[in-house]
């Protein structure tokens, strides 16, 4: 059995007769959408009153409405006037990950991506797992219960915020293989972004703020990929993925950042903590969407 490894302030319009004034947050989102190509994307369900049986309206507002708006606003301020302004989020993540001077851009883009990935897979009702997906997951993990324990156990063991991912991975002898992996802070599951390890802080490289430090960081990354002095067309192609990287497609993630679960579950001394949060999340997964993203008919990975 295959075993996975582990700005300028906006004027707020006043209410008119019979109509409530829009909230400052809704005005902020609207203006952000008009100013930039990057905006808070709509979710497939209306969770204004919270995710039933999982997140309260207050927790949802903090973790999605307010936090996602902040990530997008910060990203827009950093990429204004650059080529990233018109690029898709994944492009920004992959291309900024190798640039020490663009660590902050990577962080905000990756965090916005990861947070949305988490919320897009939530359902207000329990969704039955498609048999095709169930068969593939059982082949990788032995049972769905094992997969559940793997993901929730990994989340509980994480000492610090991040995400726990279910990813479709290349595995010899298996058409559809899956693994569980964890990323910390705003770290990305995409192998092409693993130059940015996200071990410590926003900059992750000494001197990342000055030209000499940026050049030194870039040289270090190039030497890591090529081997010192071994520049070639073949080596250049390998730069798409850091050494040791393998092709994967993320299909599901659990957000373990404290601001998501502490408002409803506390730290565990009184409430159920992160363990209860994870258990309730499992019952709110949109498995139909996971199955679609897993693309079980696809035989080869596309970078």
pLDDT digits (tens, 9 = 90+) for 91-116: 999 999 888 889 999 999 999 999 99
Structure tokens at 19: 């109509």
Q: φ and ψ at 164, to 5 degrees?
A: -110, 125
Residue 57 neighbours by CB distance under 10 Å: 13
The per-residue pLDDT for 37 is: 81
For the entire predicted model, the pTM comes to 0.76
Structure tokens at 137: 């997951």
Non-local (6+) Cβ contacts of 16 within 8 A are none
Non-local (6+) Cβ contacts of 268 within 8 A are 274, 275
**Residue 207: pLDDT above 50?**
no
Q: What is the rounded distance in angstroms from the CA atom of residue 64 to the CA atom of residue 115?
A: 8
pLDDT tier at 81 (50, 70, 90 boundaries)? Answer: very high
Average pLDDT, the chain: 80
Is the distance from CB of 136 to CB of 254 less than 8 angstroms?
no
The average pLDDT across 131-150 equals 97
């Amino acid at each position: 059995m295959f075993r996975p490894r582990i700005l300028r302030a906006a004027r707020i319009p006043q209410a008119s007769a019979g109509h409530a004034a829009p909230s400052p947050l809704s005005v902020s989102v609207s203006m952000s959408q008009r100013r930039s190509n990057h905006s808070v994307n709509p979710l497939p369900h209306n969770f204004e009153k919270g995710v039933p049986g999982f997140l309260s309206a207050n927790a949802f507002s903090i973790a999605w409405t307010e936090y996602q708006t902040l990530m997008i606003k910060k990203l827009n301020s950093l990429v204004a006037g650059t080529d990233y302004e018109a690029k898709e989020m994944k492009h920004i993540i992959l291309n900024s990950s190798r640039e020490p001077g663009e660590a902050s851009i990577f962080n905000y883009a990756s965090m916005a991506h990861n947070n949305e990935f988490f919320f897009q897979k939530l359902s207000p009702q329990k969704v039955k797992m498609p048999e095709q997906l169930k068969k593939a997951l059982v082949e990788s993990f032995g049972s769905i219960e094992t997969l559940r324990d793997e993901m929730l156990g990994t989340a509980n063991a994480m000492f610090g915020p991040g995400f726990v991912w279910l990813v479709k991975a290349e595995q010899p002898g298996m058409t559809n293989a899956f693994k569980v992996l964890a990323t910390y802070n705003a770290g990305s599951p995409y192998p092409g972004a693993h130059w940015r390890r996200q071990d410590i802080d926003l900059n992750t490289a000494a001197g990342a703020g000055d030209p000499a430090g940026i050049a030194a960081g870039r040289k270090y990354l190039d030497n890591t990929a090529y081997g010192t002095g071994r520049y070639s067309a073949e080596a250049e192609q390998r730069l798409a993925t850091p050494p040791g990287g393998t092709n994967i497609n993320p299909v599901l993630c659990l957000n373990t950042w404290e601001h998501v679960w502490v408002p409803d579950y506390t730290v565990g001394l009184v409430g159920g903590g992160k363990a209860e949060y994870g258990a309730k999340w499992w019952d709110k997964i949109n498995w139909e969407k996971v199955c679609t993203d897993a693309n079980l008919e696809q035989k080869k990975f596309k970078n």
